[in-house]
Amino acid sequence: MLYLVGLGLADEKDITVRGLEVVKKAERVYLEAYTAILLVEKEKLEAFYGRPVIVADRELVESGSDEILAGADKADIAFLVVGDPFGATTHTDLVLRAREMGIATKSIPNASIMSGIGCTGLQLYNFGQTVSMVFFTENWKPSSYYDRVKENVQLGLHTLVLLDIKVKEPSLENLARGRIVYEPPRYMTVAQCAAQMLETEKERKEGAWGPDSLAIGAARVGADDQKLVAGTLKELTEVDMGRPLHSLVLLGRKAHDLEKDYIREFAVDAATFEASWQKGYGATS
């Protein structure tokens, strides 16, 4: 059996009791570690589980799935995924491959940022489609996300923006020299995301949002040092939310008063928050 086990959002204790039972009994345990990260090191997981964990990088998962699945027709293999196994990054390809090989699969759900973002007090019912924000470079500033956020904005819905992480990315400079050397990991901050959004709006000029649009920055959802900050996009470009992971929610115009009551506690500046709210938010029904 192939078990896909969700680890939740913050640290080693966010695994479920059922998930921990699977990990303890499995023949091999892989940790998917390139689309999201826990806030603890692999060594801490191993100490908590009382057994070794094999880190599965992108290459292993995408090209070496037969290695992961070897023997899974007879023994149990656990594949650990930060968040939920079918959350922001789905592992449907691994399951499809298992199916082809006649290997049974089972997934152990856990918290995902897609629902964990409810900790902001915003109602998950009021969210439209989720988008991802990649790191812009000098020459590559993809803005296709803009169209999807704009669809949400037009419907008055909130948008969850998931922020890029770069883990074990080969350095282009070194690749050119025929050597594989990895860049240090990078995690997009709320401030970077807000700045990129304003940059895209400047280029698109369709008014989906602007410097006064309200948004919420969320850092380390579910951890003891979880931090939430509400403010205008302009304010958020200057906010320091601390260590990763970060996410951002662009507030939809149909936000309710109950949502407002909850989030204003996190306002960078109560006065600008109130002024921005009065200009463009609040459910009419």
Residues at the contact surface with a copy of itself, assessed by CB under 8 A: 6, 8-9, 12-18, 20-21, 83-88, 90, 92-93, 95-96, 99, 107-112, 114-116, 118-121, 123-132, 151, 155, 157, 221-222, 258-259, 261-262, 265
Cα–Cα distance measured from residue 247 to residue 242, given in angstroms and rounded to the nearest whole number: 12
Question: Is 61 marked as a binding-site residue?
Answer: no
Instruction: Mention every residue, 6+ apart, whose C-beta is less than 8 A from residue 272.
Output: 231, 232, 235
Cα–Cα distance measured from residue 88 to residue 110, given in angstroms and rounded to the nearest whole number: 12
The C-alpha angle 261, 247, 257, rounded to 5 degrees, equals 15
Question: Is 29 marked as a binding-site residue?
Answer: no
Instruction: Tell me how far, at minimum, the Cβ of 114 lies from a copy of itself, in Å.
Output: 4
The whole-angstrom distance between residue 261's C-alpha and the CA centroid of its chain comes to: 26
Instruction: Tell me how far, at minimum, the Cβ of 268 lies from a copy of itself, in Å.
Output: 19
Q: Contact 87/114 with Cβ under 8 angstroms?
A: yes
Instruction: Tell me how far, at minimum, the Cβ of 151 lies from a copy of itself, in Å.
Output: 5
Residue 105 or 196: the one with the smaller Cβ distance to a copy of itself is: 105
Instruction: Tell me how far, at minimum, the Cβ of 112 lies from a copy of itself, in Å.
Output: 4
Residue 109 or 210: the one with the smaller Cβ distance to a copy of itself is: 109
Cα–Cα distance measured from residue 112 to residue 85, given in angstroms and rounded to the nearest whole number: 9
- Beta partners for 163? 133
Question: Is 261 marked as a binding-site residue?
Answer: no
Instruction: Tell me how far, at minimum, the Cβ of 142 lies from a copy of itself, in Å.
Output: 14
| HSE-CB of 196 using CA atoms within 13 angstroms | 25
Question: Is 246 marked as a binding-site residue?
Answer: yes
Instruction: Tell me how far, at minimum, the Cβ of 219 lies from a copy of itself, in Å.
Output: 14
Paired sense of beta strands 165-166 and 186-187, if any: antiparallel
Question: Is 87 marked as a binding-site residue?
Answer: yes
Question: Is 221 marked as a binding-site residue?
Answer: yes
Cα–Cα distance measured from residue 125 to residue 127, given in angstroms and rounded to the nearest whole number: 6
Question: Is 112 marked as a binding-site residue?
Answer: yes
Residue 99 or 179: the one with the smaller Cβ distance to a copy of itself is: 99
Residue 102 or 184: the one with the smaller Cβ distance to a copy of itself is: 102
Q: Contact 158/243 with Cβ under 8 angstroms?
A: no
Tokens of 74: 């007879």
Residue 28 or 158: the one with the smaller Cβ distance to a copy of itself is: 158
Cα–Cα distance measured from residue 40 to residue 201, given in angstroms and rounded to the nearest whole number: 36
- Single-letter code of the amino acid located at 154: Q
Instruction: Tell me how far, at minimum, the Cβ of 125 lies from a copy of itself, in Å.
Output: 5
Residue 171 or 226: the one with the smaller Cβ distance to a copy of itself is: 226
Question: Is 55 marked as a binding-site residue?
Answer: no
Q: Contact 213/251 with Cβ under 8 angstroms?
A: yes
Residue 114 or 188: the one with the smaller Cβ distance to a copy of itself is: 114
Binding site, residues?
Answer: 9, 84, 87, 112-113, 163, 221, 246
Binding site for S-adenosyl-L-methionine, residues?
Answer: 9, 84, 87, 112-113, 163, 221, 246
